[in-house]
Amino acid sequence: ALSLVDNLNARLPAFNNLRYLEVSYICYSRYYKPLPCLLEISPNLKSVNFTH
């Protein structure tokens, strides 16, 4: 299984803010553990959307 960072690197090789995304994902997961969540990056790279 790919890690979150590996998945982001595969999708967005030039994306520099992986640490922020990791922290955001961890914070999100803490509150929404019961939900199977997928990380989706918005096209403008200004927001991170979590969907299930």
Q: How many residues in total does the chain contain?
A: 52
Tokens of 10: 């595969």
10-34: per-residue pLDDT in tens?
665 445 555 566 666 665 566 555 4
Mean pLDDT of 25-50: 51
Mean pLDDT of 23-52: 51
pLDDT, greater one: 28 or 42: 28
Which sequence spans correspond to the domains of the chain? 4-51
**What pLDDT is stored for residue 28 in this prediction?**
59
**What pLDDT is stored for residue 30 in this prediction?**
62
Q: What does the DSSP 8-state code read for residue 39? A: E
Q: Would the pLDDT of 7 be above 60? A: yes
Q: How far apart are CA 4 and CA 38, in angstroms?
A: 10
- Helix, strand or coil for residue 38? strand
